[in-house]
Amino acid sequence: MKTLEVAFNGLVGPTHNYAGLSHGNVASETHASQISRPRQAALQGLEKLRLLFERGVPCGILPPQERPSIGFLRQLGFTGSDVDVLSAAAKQPRLLAAASSASCMWTANAATVSPSADTDDGRVHFTPANLASKLHRTLEPDATARALRRVFHCESHFAHHAPLPGGVHLGDEGAANHTRLCSAPGARGLELFTFGRRAFGGGAEPTRYPARQTLEASEAIARRHGLAATRTFFLQQSPDAIDAGVFHNDVIAVGHEDLLLLHERAYVEHAAALEDLRRAFDGELCVVEARESELPLAHAVGSYLFNSELLRTSAGSRLLLAPQECAEDEPTARFIERLLAWPGTPVDEVHYVDLRESMQNGGGPACLRLRVSMTVPQYQSVLRECLYDLEAHDKLTAWIECHYREQLSGSDLADPALLDESRRALDELTGILALGSDFYEFQRVHRGRS
């Protein structure tokens, strides 16, 4: 049966800012407290979607979440009107920054997705990530689950699971630590789960930065999704790589169909892991490794090469959509030249995209998208307004230009006008995307008072 791989991209929210909340994410910490440009960030994300759409790649849209989250701040004991809550929280700037983060734009962390070719009930399965390792990201899972259920609403096609319980013991970071390989679109695949540590100890762990994904979380998701044990792999990420700033696997490896592109320092027992994958793969798996001698890990992290998107265009060519920083970093650019000249041409072309606003906060092209492979009937059941086309592009461009600020600083997060601007923007967006007038908490609170 014909299968479509759809790239669902997260819209950058109106409160996009550089608070440096993500310890272990080098770019996030490096650019902390700098001035952000929310309008530019959102338009850069839309431009990426337009580029892919024009190459015949099906694309979708997931909405930003409500920020600042007044509900979260009220849970922490701040009281009074919404403006009072915001004013009081401003005296605790790290809490306000957490409540205002636009980090849900990185939809690679939204969920783990298993297509129907791999699951025992023949449905596409979603498990929203609990993102237990970072305070600002723990605000996301419930709203993510709501969005996924509305966009993928047909129960005969889609199975929705709750985020995993258990806090950091079952810490789950979503598709950023999940890779799927297959011999052809629609064929059953190998599902690769990458973890950083074992929840109850045992094995090597990083010493400088925290390992966010646990083996136990990955195993639980595989059980939930009904994946065959012989087609499911659990690979431990190299602790040295995590300590070098590889906070998610998609900073050091990217896979698509029969191609796995990665750095030689990606996994513990790296060579044995690759051999196991080759043996289990239906057909010939092409593995392209970057050697430390040609692409030092620090350059791979700085350029975000492995956070590029690998995609198949409508013409059948394989496209590497890479951040502009890859062209500007000499070792990375040389490696890409080698990749394009590789025997059998696993990658036919490369296109560089400007995502500097996201990159400076630690998210490249692959961070901004959640892959969802679907059959044609499954695709046709998706909420139509959340599928991208050029008409949607024009509507969203006008919406961004109307509602988003040109610049934002940390002190602006306490501005009551920003809260009002963000709510008006999101209220209008629910109409554009047909999400309903009760999608956001502030909408439900308002309806309850009316």
Active site residue 173: yes
Q: Go through 68-103 and write b for each residue having 16 or more CB atoms within 10 A of its CB, e for each that does not.
A: bbbebbeeeebeeebeebbebbeeeeebbbbbbbbb
Say which of 140, 367, 386, 403 is annotated catalytic: 367
Which residues lie below 8 Å from residue 210, measured CB to CB, with a gap of 6+? 23, 24, 133, 196, 242
C-alpha separations of 324 from 270, 304, 353 in Å: 29, 10, 5
> What single-letter amino acid sits at 267?
Y
Length of the chain: 450
Please, how many CA atoms are within 13 Å of residue 293, restricted to the half-sphere of its CB?
Answer: 0
The Cα–Cα gap between 314 and 293 comes to: 36
Active site residue 104: no
Say which of 136, 248, 256, 263 is annotated catalytic: 248
The Cα–Cα gap between 179 and 250 comes to: 9
> What single-letter amino acid sits at 136?
H
Own/partner pairs, 269-274, CB within 8 angstroms, 24+ separation: 269/236, 270/238, 273/233, 273/235
Angle, helix 82-89 to helix 416-432, in steps of 10 degrees: 120
Say which of 173, 191, 289, 325 is annotated catalytic: 173
| 346 close to 319: Cβ distance less than 8 angstroms | no
Nearest to 211 by CA among 162, 180, 179, 177: 177
| 340 close to 288: Cβ distance less than 8 angstroms | no
**What angle is formed at CA 221 by the lines to CA 216 and CA 225, rounded to 5 degrees?**
150
Instruction: State the catalytic residues.
Output: 173, 248, 367
